[in-house]
A and B are shown apart, each in its own frame.
Chain A
Amino acid sequence: MNGFIPLWPDAASAHAGQVDQLVIAFTVLMVALTAPVFVLIVVFAVRYRRGKAANRTHRVNRSVWLETSWAAIPFLLTLFFFVWAAWLYFDLHRPPADAMEIDVVAKRWMWKFQHPEGQREIDDLHVPAGRPVKLTMTSEDVIHSLFVPALRVKQDVLPGRYTTLWFDADRPGSYPLECTQFCGTDHSLMHGRLVVMAGQDYARWLAGTQGGDTLAAEGRALFRSLGCSGCHGPGATVHAPKLEGLYGRPVPLQDGSTVTADEQYIRDSILEPNSRIAAGYPPIMPTFRNLVDEGEVQQLVAYIKSLATQPAEPTP
């Protein structure tokens, strides 16, 4: 994005390159389909000017074949681009399993990022180059939208729900990161930088920043201080679902359906325990909606996910 008038944004990921190819190819098709309209209007306006002699014989006022063809052909050509674009879009919605997980909380007019290693950042996000990164995002108030132009990715951040966004930035550099869903007074100020760093630079950055507990560790502390361990802990006597090995496993619900225990299910069970009650358990869990904010819920979710690897003991 250099030069006196910037004309094309930087591309910092393979996906960005593919979107650029799609846009350029589609523009070529569009110019091909519409150049005749612009040219012919001018040509006809000159050649068939009122009062000017011209060969106006054989005027045809309808031709079903011609009209059907210039309706169908552009449609079919565009369908090819529809499939190409849909393929890229579906690819955006399927994060790789080994992606690095970063939790994001959007709050009126700032972005809060939480790295699994415990680092916390406001508005700026440091990520390693060449590794897929998956952002799990939620909002504490209104709808925001995380947009990184250099990666050609954008995803709205909704209150009361997790939305995800993943990217694999391969070119180190500092790229703008913005909020693109109008969220109130300082919507224009809710931007920051996505700093993509080469492997060792990122490691040095990680070491340099104050290495507090990892996200899961803070989650465990919260798990104990809020009293969750009283029911869900190993030595608990209360009949409550065991959380070891829960993450990613299908959970049978009381109304007979089953749901996989993803971040969304764990979050909902913390904030609205009665929404989807596990089968065979009484709905006695209190809501923690006013006790924890979204950032702390993400820490609890990180802790429960860290329990996924331990074997589940038989429930008492």
Chain B
Amino acid sequence: MTDIQAGLPASGIVPETAEERVSYLRAGHSLRSWLLTTDHKRIAILYLIAITAFFFIGGAAAALIRLDLLTPQGDLLSNEGYNRAFTIHGVIMVWFFLIPSIPTTFGNFLIPLMIGARDLAFPRLNLLSWYIYVLGGLVTIYVLVTGGVDTGWTFYTPLSSMFANGHVVAAAAAVFIVGFSSILTGLNFIVTVHTLRAPGMGWGRLPLFVWSHYATSLVLVLATPVLAVTLALMAAERLFGIGIFDPALGGDPLLYQHLFWFYSHPAVYIMILPAMGVVSELVAAAAHKPVFGYWFVAFSSLAIAVIGFLVWGHHMFVAGQSMYASAVFSFLSIAVAVPSAIKVYNWTATLYKGHISLEPPFLFAMSFIGLFVIGGLTGLMLALLAVDVHVHDTTFVIAHFHYIMVGGTVSAFFGALHYWWPKFTGRTYSRIWGRLSAIFIFLGFNLTFFPQFLLGYLGMPRRYHVYDPAFQVLHVLSTAGASLLGVAYVLPFAYLLYSLRHGAPAGPNPWPATGLEWTVPSPPPKHNFDRIPVVTEAPYAYPVERRGDDG
């Protein structure tokens, strides 16, 4: 970006560059060459399109919820309508945007490039995973169009299996299907990182982006099947009356919650770990300096993946779980925050004595760090037993997980989009608009969710659309924030798509940054590397810019 000082890209249509003519984008123009591709880069683009569509559908449901909560009686939607709106918002955002967002787009595109491979270990499985995702998506659209489901994204029994009257089994089938898409992606990444690293690319030379995706893949592969069998048993109980969790038969509704949260808490680490990988790359590139404490940051990804499996009980402190088990889960939930603390402090230490540039992706990275810290700490507060008794299932919890998922993962997703867009498309975008959208997203987000911390502690229950009139001011603030956030999210797609035609050519290394993906032309050719590179130095080996930098 250093050579293009102008905020706006060169005006008028920019003709196709030499790299673009031979790049993966031009390797076949027919729809068939896109829909039957096994090139990991094209599959990443297919995923990017699909998850963006679901991001806006889920966002629309969120807009409905926020508008309905403008008034204490909830005049926009009926009770039933509100229940279905937050359920479809949850189902689509969790399984069709947050979980696949960074791994299936940036993971698919960049992991082979970063480790010096021509493609993932199983290219055909990669395409199959996209088709399974689309199939799951279509079933969800069917559920949405024909009336939705009113159980919440958690599908708790006995409500989901015996009392709910929406399309519970179809929604469970959609999630069951899309689960296998994540399993295939996780499996592909694990085998690729183990078997396809370039010569010299030892585990100590892997970019932290790859480390975090490796840890995410372990969680994807080990947790998702438990969700599949739990939803299958719930659907069997609803469809055929095969009572597994049925309290009338002496079944334990808490058993469903144990199985569900055994998946669903690791699932939140599936959502945040790739974002942490992105931020490690962005912070290193922003500071033009190696990440502080490489091994600590790398192993903290693995630690989060492993300890993440031991903490699910903190969702059930007030659910009737034994107080001894709750104490154990509370302690382990505090332990799982330690690796995240290491990452945050190490990122901050990376900025020390760096050469910091405030390009749009690096603004997103810093807003990630700020918002993730608030989300993480309120998570620690929720892990404290007595506090959780008060704020469980209130909007305090809503604010907590939105600070991590929207403040964290979505900011990192947009940061990654702005950082690797020149590599994906070979074009640069307007840096002024990039910075504006980062700032608007940060402001809109805080205005939307900080009031919900206050509402939560005041006792505003979650999933309520009728509330005490005294809370109305905070709800109006939150809805105002949501409308600003909604507009801010549309901005990037405007100027990024504009850059496809009018953006100036980006060249192989616009930032400039280290990493094998920056050594190939932008957009990269179909076979990635003419010759598989031999890696000789540690990652993030930024050149010393000034004499004496290294003392």
Contact = CB atoms under 8 A, between A and B. Distances in A.
A and B touch in the complex (CB under 8 A): yes
Interface of A: 1, 4-9, 18-19, 22-23, 26-27, 30, 33-34, 36-38, 40-41, 44-45, 48-51, 54-63, 66-67, 70-72, 74-75, 78-79, 81-82, 84-86, 88-90, 92-93, 108, 141-143, 145, 147, 149-150, 152-156, 158-161, 163, 176, 178-189, 272, 275, 289
Contacts of A37: 344-345, 348, 369-370, 373
Question: Which of B158, B387, B457, B471 has the most CB atoms of chain A within a 10 A radius of its CB?
Answer: B387
Interface in B44-62: none
B54 to A, nearest CB: 23
The 6 tightest CB contacts between A and B, nearest first, are A149-B459, A57-B551, A160-B247, A89-B385, A88-B386, A85-B384
18 contacts: A5-B474, A37-B348, A37-B373, A41-B366, A61-B290, A61-B291, A82-B385, A89-B327, A90-B323, A93-B323, A142-B158, A142-B162, A158-B253, A158-B319, A182-B151, A186-B79, A189-B79, A289-B248
Contact of A178 (B82, B162, B349, B461): B461
Interface of B: 74, 79-80, 82-83, 150-152, 154, 156, 158-159, 162-164, 247-248, 250, 253-254, 287-296, 317-320, 323, 326-327, 330-331, 334-335, 337-339, 341-342, 344-346, 348-349, 351-358, 366, 369-370, 373-374, 377, 380-381, 383-387, 389-390, 392-394, 454, 457-459, 461-468, 470-471, 473-474, 546, 548-551
A84 B334 CA distance: 14
B102 to A, nearest CB: 22
A89 B288 CA distance: 48
A305 to B, nearest CB: 22
A127 to B, nearest CB: 18
Contact of A79 (B334, B345, B356, B463): B334
Contacts of B158: 141-143, 159
Given A44-B351, A156-B319, A188-B79, A183 B334 contact: no
B323 A188 contact: no
B386 A185 contact: no
A174 to B, nearest CB: 12
A82 B334 contact: yes
B356 A161 contact: no
A49 B74 CA distance: 49
A141 B161 CA distance: 12
A4 B293 contact: no
A66 B296 CA distance: 11
Nearest to A177: B459
B549 A30 contact: no
Contacts of B383: 82
Contacts of B392: 154, 180
Contact of A50 (B357, B394, B550): B357
A141 B546 contact: no
B293 A75 contact: no
Contacts of B461: 147, 178-180
B389 A75 contact: no
Given A30-B377, A89-B389, A182 B370 contact: no
A273 B230 CA distance: 30
